[in-house]
Amino acid sequence: MINNRLEEIGGYPFDRLRILLDPYQPAPSFTPISLSVGEPQHPPPQLVREIINENFELWGKYPLVRGTPDFRSAIVSWLETRYDLPQTMLDGEDCVIPVSGTREALFMIALAVVPEKIHGKKPAVLMPNPFYQVYLGAATLAGAEPIFVDATLETDFLPNFQTQPTELLERTALAYYCSPANPQGKVATLETLKNIINLARDRNFIVLFDECYSEIFHQNPPPGGLEACAALGGSLDNVLVFNSLSKRSNVPGLRSGFVAGDPKLIKAFKTVRDYGGAPPPYPLLAAAAALWRDETHVFQNQMLYRQKFDLADQILENSHGYYRPEGGFYLWLNVGDGEEAALELWRGAAIRTIPGKYLSRENKSGKNPGSSYIRCALVHDKKTTEEALSRLVKTL
């Protein structure tokens, strides 16, 4: 009576982490600090409370799946400004849809676009390895074969889909691509994004750009999928981008994001959401629209993260393969054995990290590319971050 595909997915990373760490007490001399979850701890903007209260009466209405014209207009304006897009490129009516966080959207999109067969064969879904675990769940439960493409130091921490066999690409339904990458923090160049889009159009699959870390960067703003579409002439064919306010605006509990791109795909996605989606409530959409129109709090947020990575530069220096990521808020540290290090950090320093092995799968050579790593989320305030990193270095 249970979907047998669930067995193919396996345990969720944080369930596996609890199994690893919870039998042990953390070091009693320290206050526990969790670096395992990418949940921003910076204060949310005050305007969120104000606008939700101003729209209190709208809690009495069922929200439409397509959201409000005001929200869609805010997204189009933000995308045009952020990526210097032509004003004729995005139609807010047909090319944008609100979602309850990108996690839900990245999962549900596979239900909309993965066919039962491609050329009589089981469809494939490409994803980086390591990867955001929702990609695997979406691919498997949609009936596709997940294909893990290594994103390691040897590949500059980004997957190279172009090197996949022709037979595989011919049965590929979609590809997930995350830039800035989770967990490695690598940013893809505009040329790389263009090459992926060209490959998707040439082989007739869909590319999904997961850009939820796009507004946390340390030098230059990361290019995006729609920016690459504009550079290729403006067509949105085969392309969807996903973004949210969780990281950008420190409101993970708002559960607000958007999907934008190919209107044919947006239409199909809307149909799936009509049946199984949970549209964001109108008061939350109003707050979200205001957040997308405000950049002041985003600049302040970026400054806080830069200060914490300045600390990481000083405390970690070049130990454990440390490098300053180009985007996002994770450290991807090579500690030899990620599980062993995570356990020792918990027992000896009350620091909770997640082994890279839990964010990866074995490749064709039988090697898990995340086994020697731990991921640390620098989501706390500066003082807590300094304490956590100091304990981490001393223990390791």
119-131 confidence digits (pLDDT tens): 999 999 999 999 9
Per-residue pLDDT tens digits for 6-26: 988 988 999 999 999 999 999
47-294 maps to which CATH number?
3.40.640.10
Output the pLDDT for position 192: 98
Q: How far is CA 165 from the centre of its chain?
A: 26
Angle at 140 between CA 138 and CA 144, to 5 degrees: 105
Per-residue confidence (pLDDT) for residue 17, from 0 to 100: 97
**pLDDT band (50, 70, 90) for residue 75:** very high
Task: Please report which confidence band the pLDDT of residue 1 belongs to, taking 50, 70 and 90 as the band edges.
Answer: confident
The CATH number for 5-43+297-395, chosen from 3.30.70.1290, 3.30.360.10, 3.40.50.300, 3.90.1150.10, is: 3.90.1150.10
Q: Where along the chain do the CATH 3.40.640.10 domains lie?
A: 47-294
Strand partners, 108: none
Q: Quick one: pLDDT at residue 338?
A: 98
Indicate the pLDDT class of residue 364, thresholds 50, 70 and 90.
confident
Which pLDDT score, from 0 to 100, does residue 318 have?
82
pTM of the predicted model as reported, rounded to 2 decimal places:
0.96
Q: What is the average pLDDT value for the chain, to the nearest integer? A: 97
What's the token pair of residue 216? 């946390």
Residue 378 has pLDDT above 90, yes or no: yes
Strands of the chain (E only): list them. Answer: 33-34, 96-99, 124-129, 145-150, 172-178, 206-210, 239-244, 257-261, 330-334, 351-352, 354-355, 373-377
Strands 351-352 and 33-34: parallel
Mean pLDDT, to the nearest integer, of 78-83?
98
Strands of 96-99's sheet, edge to edge?
96-99, 257-261, 239-244, 206-210, 172-178, 124-129, 145-150
Looking at residue 59, its pLDDT comes to 97
Q: How far is CA 9 from CA 64, 166, 375, in A?
A: 32, 26, 21
Could you give the residue range(s) of every CATH 3.90.1150.10 domain in the chain? Answer: 5-43+297-395
